[in-house]
Structure 1
Amino acid sequence: MKYVHVYTLFLIFVFCASCKGQNKTGPPKGNTRSETKEVTTSYGPNRIVRTIKQDKKGDIWIASWEGIFRYDGRSFTNITGKVSSARFFSVLEDSKGNLWFGSIGSGVYYYDGKSFQNFTTRDGLLNNDVGSIYEDKKGDIWFGVFGGASRYDGKSFHNYIINGDGMSEDRTGKTFPYRPPYEVNSIIEDGTGKFWFATRGNTFVYDGKAFTVFTHEDKPFKNVRSIIEDNKGNIWLGGPDGLWRYDGNTFTNFTQKFIGYIIEDKKGNIWTSSEGDNSRAWALSRYEGKSLSDKKPAVTEIKSNEGMIFGILEAYDGSIWFGTLNGVYSYDGNAISDYKSKRLGNNFYSQ
């Protein structure tokens, strides 16, 4: 790996929003609370689904343009239906069981299971367009937004701004009421404690002091949509340059098709959403874990001819869930089920 040094940062805390006596990952006081007003249906969202997660209880949470949906195995509940009309892109259950929902235009919603609190640029968030959410090993919550990232340490927000080709900690306390040119698509902390930021511009690695641009053969990885670390410590990146694996020394390219999302399942298989042979149609594919050491690993296309495929989840039962332009699907190893509002009696429509 070759790093291009961009900025050296002095770790100066940035005051954006503060609160005394709060526990880690708890929201600041003083924000308006909204009681939960749930809307339950027998079907899920019919529009774009960006992120799918499963909580510790086994419920599945879906971030969609119609709101945040919870699926308990029987029915769907639009948790935010009476709270916000915003489009939601991201969802996270933190280590304490609280939920965070990232919206486009309305900031972040914190949900404790009973009521909501909304945090925006007024509270110190860098930008109100929140595309990704991540919790680090310390319990800090990171929000990938347009223009950079915000880290919430349980008391205040600390902001990191993308400046052209670089990224640095914000020491001015300013926020962005407009939409800056680059957004942070994905954030992870790897096994060594370094943070990776995939943006619409460059991909950055942050060691706690400095941000560096991640490159291969002097070429930066741009517009990376997804970064994961697999169970062997390899870093996977997906974007317009295809699917790449980095083992700390060697780069391996598995496809040059545009990659949107990446996950690793319990068996070590890699799942991706990508452009198909016809660039107008997307596919959900599985790379067999046992063949990933081969130059041409075994790849199975599970679903094709989708307009686009977004977030992917492996549920506890082994089923694979994925979001599309028109709702959410699941794959149980044999068949694909569609949870839109097409119904036969009281049953879900499946294909």
Structure 2
Amino acid sequence: MMKYIGIYTLFFMFIFCTFCKGQTKTELPKDDIKSETKDVITSHGPNSITRTIMQDRKGNIWMAAFDGVFRYDGKTFANITSKVSAARFFSVLEDRKGNLWFSSIGSGVYYYDGKSFLNFTTREGLANNEVTCIYEDKTGNIWFGTEGGASCYDGKSFRNLSMYNDVNSIIEDKTGRIWFGTRGNACFYDGKTFTDLTHNGKPFTNVWSIIEDKKGNIWLGGTDGLWRYDGSTFTNFTQKFVNCIIEDKKGNIWTSSESDNGEGWALSCYDEKSLFNKKTTVTETNLSSKTIFTVFEDDDGNIWFGSSGVYRYDGFTFDDFKGNAEYPLHFFTRP
């Protein structure tokens, strides 16, 4: 492991000067105001760029898009935020208590308990109002990746790690380390110090997606392509730009990336049985246009993805949930 990772051994205060601006903790004011709203039923899902799709414990599908946060119960769509904010929404998370968090570009974060909203911005201690990702760690802290570093909310106050780079992705691995994919260098944080992830002395830059698979491997996707790190060895699967990574229930790895032919984008599935072979079996579904921003597997094994709108793939056919057919997608699947 030491062969591939350069570890900063200096104390956290020194790292403030080289990687972070500092760490601050802000207590929340006691006069936060909750605003109540009613869902707005729509005949379709998002018509705009969709950055995150997830499923809550009740089976509802949630979509964070530039035209609002939508909920789909299997029959009906509802725009949850149309009466609350006109902001572009980026991410949605259901925490362990069943409450929902929505991140936005420009308006901070919205907390939703199913009845009313609470808005957190820099005024309440958030690092930046441009928030691109949300993650809940094992202890219940909520992490926010922003364009001004990362914020950690413990239910009472914010603790900010003010990095010089935008934070695109956050996860916690099995050992409790927090990993950050940033516009700068990918790194992990052990609670005291940061460690840049490097391969052959070169850092991984502009990482858009990080996941940990069931076996404990770390996967990174970004400008340098798709990589797997097993704690000692790095394996590259493609050098094409990779925007999003997920692991499905069978252990297959799905990505959204630039297509092999250089035209448009592709939804790729790396077969679990061949992931450790010299040549991995990959099935690629090309789209004639439009970036795929997010990929998600629901409880029934359907693959959802967000582009300019939302789509669902059941292994045989694609469903388009857009109400606006101005930018249709065309699919070409090949092994």
The two structures share one fold, judged by TM-score above 0.5: yes
3-state SS in 2 of match to 1:307: coil
1:77 and 1:311, CA in 2 relative to 1: closer, same or farther beyond 3 A?
same
Amino acid at match of 1:333: G
1:306 Cα deviation from its structure 2 partner: 3.2
Quote the residue 2:151 is aligned against: 150
1:6 and 1:127, CA in 2 relative to 1: closer, same or farther beyond 3 A?
farther
Q: CA RMSD in A?
A: 2.0
1:44 Cα deviation from its structure 2 partner: 0.5
| Gaps in structure 1 of 5+ consecutive residues | 20-28, 164-181, 344-348
Quote the residue 2:142 is aligned against: 141
**Contact 1:283–1:306 at 8 Å: present in 2 too?**
no
Amino acid at match of 1:111: Y
| 2:223 corresponds to 1:223 | no
| 2:317 corresponds to 1:298 | no
Quote the residue 1:17 is aligned against: 27
The ranges of structure 1 where at least 4 consecutive aligned residues each deviate by more than 4 angstroms after the TM superposition are none
Quote the residue 1:205 is aligned against: 188
| 2:8 corresponds to 1:5 | yes
**Residue deviations 1:255-285 (CA, integer Å, cap 9, x gap):** 1110000000000000000001243511101
**Contact 1:7–1:211 at 8 Å: present in 2 too?**
no
**Contact 2:24–2:161 at 8 Å: present in 1 too?**
no
Amino acid at match of 1:5: Y
Quote the residue 2:309 is aligned against: 327
1:30 Cα deviation from its structure 2 partner: 2.0
**Contact 2:134–2:143 at 8 Å: present in 1 too?**
yes
Quote the residue 1:64 is aligned against: 65
Amino acid at match of 1:339: F
Quote the residue 2:36 is aligned against: 35
1:350 Cα deviation from its structure 2 partner: 11
The CA distance in 1 between the partners of 2:259 and 2:282, in whole Å, is 13
The CA distance in 1 between the partners of 2:192 and 2:291, in whole Å, is 37
1:52 Cα deviation from its structure 2 partner: 0.5
Quote the residue 2:117 is aligned against: 116
| Gaps in structure 2 of 5+ consecutive residues | 14-21
The CA distance in 1 between the partners of 2:265 and 2:10, in whole Å, is 37
Identical positions, percent: 63
Decide which of 262, 265, 276 is 2:248's aligned counterpart.
265
The CA distance in 2 between the partners of 1:79 and 1:104, in whole Å, is 17
Decide which of 163, 173, 182 is 1:190's aligned counterpart.
173
**Residue deviations 1:288-347 (CA, integer Å, cap 9, x gap):** 0001011211100134223100111100000000000x200000010011001159xxxx
1:220 and 1:350, CA in 2 relative to 1: closer, same or farther beyond 3 A?
closer
Amino acid at match of 1:238: G
1:205 Cα deviation from its structure 2 partner: 0.9
**Residue deviations 1:15-37 (CA, integer Å, cap 9, x gap):** 31236xxxxxxxxx421211122
Count of residue pairs brought into register by the alignment: 318
3-state SS in 2 of match to 1:290: helix
Amino acid at match of 1:140: N
Amino acid at match of 1:82: K
1:6 Cα deviation from its structure 2 partner: 7.3
3-state SS in 1 of match to 2:123: helix
**Contact 1:70–1:77 at 8 Å: present in 2 too?**
yes
**Contact 1:276–1:305 at 8 Å: present in 2 too?**
no
1:6 and 1:238, CA in 2 relative to 1: closer, same or farther beyond 3 A?
farther
1:75 Cα deviation from its structure 2 partner: 1.1
**Residue deviations 1:124-182 (CA, integer Å, cap 9, x gap):** 0000000000000000000000021000011100000114xxxxxxxxxxxxxxxxxx3
1:13 Cα deviation from its structure 2 partner: 7.7
1:85 Cα deviation from its structure 2 partner: 0.2
Scaled by the length of structure 2, the TM-score of the pair is 0.91
3-state SS in 2 of match to 1:109: strand
